[in-house]
Chains A and B, each alone.
Chain A
Amino acid sequence: DAGITQSPRYKITETGRQVTLMCHQTWSHSYMFWYRQDLGHGLRLIYYSAAADITDKGEVPDGYVVSRSKTENFPLTLESATRSQTSVYFCASSVAGGRRETQYFGPGTRLLVL
């Protein structure tokens, strides 16, 4: 049972480049989420998706684009990376939406923007 995986695990890029972070889950969960983790902020929601082709903004969506053409994949794209996007990115999934649902997290992608 692979669960939820993220790739790459580590990425170094330069300011202005486009970067795509991949997230794949094998549970057929309806909901998927992207969070970023920064010191002093905990985890903040970037985008989430309720199902294929349904996405919505979270707390910090600026500079990011998501898509979800298949239930199992939820890529996050930084269209033109900035230094402020240096962070650890976590993908998560849940069976359904709502405040009582347990979210299951991937191992994270550490992104450094030079």
Chain B
Amino acid sequence: AQSVTQPDIHITVSEGASLELRCNYSYGATPYLFWYVQSPGQGLQLLLKYFSGDTLVQGIKGFEAEFKRSQSSFNLRKPSVHWSDAAEYFCAVGATGANNLFFGTGTRLTVIP
């Protein structure tokens, strides 16, 4: 069965510092992977997605993610965090035969000045 693990419940970084949010998936075939961001009081917004091809995926707001099959990971990165990046981040996987996405439990990002 497919599943997604986000090991970090809460991460705090200083503004301007780099960021990496971890995501590990469990899925037998080639996964379809997504990162969503949820700003306070808002719905989820797609940051980026990976289906195939180049393992480094660029998204919106300066985010990127790298798919590493050998590590079953799809970590999200940003070189320099802005205060507006404070939000909750969800990794998700799409599975064969399913119409919905399977989400991780999320990582809350706090940005300190």
State the total of A-B contacts with C-beta under 8 angstroms: 62
A41-89 residues at the B interface, CB under 8 angstroms: 41-45, 48, 50, 58
State whether A31 touches B49 (Cβ < 8 A): no
Say which size band chain A's interface belongs to.
Answer: 20 to 34
Inter-chain contacts of B46 with A (CB < 8 A): 102-104
State whether A50 touches B43 (Cβ < 8 A): no
Q: CB-nearest residue of chain A relative to B27?
A: A99
15 more CB-based (< 8 A) A-B contacts, given A100-B32, A101-B99, A103-B101: A33-B99, A41-B105, A42-B104, A43-B101, A43-B103, A45-B100, A92-B44, A99-B98, A99-B101, A101-B94, A102-B49, A105-B36, A105-B43, A105-B45, A107-B41
Residues of A bordering B, CB below 8 Å: 4, 31, 33, 35, 40-45, 48, 50, 58, 90, 92, 97-108
Interface centre among A92, A97, A105 (most CB of B within 10 A): A105
Inter-chain contacts of B93 with A (CB < 8 A): 99
**What's the Cα separation between A4 and B43 when bound, in Å?**
10
B37-75 interface code vs A (CB 8 A; 1 in, 0 out): 000011111100101000000000000000000000000
- Distance in angstroms from A60 CB to nearest chain B CB is 12
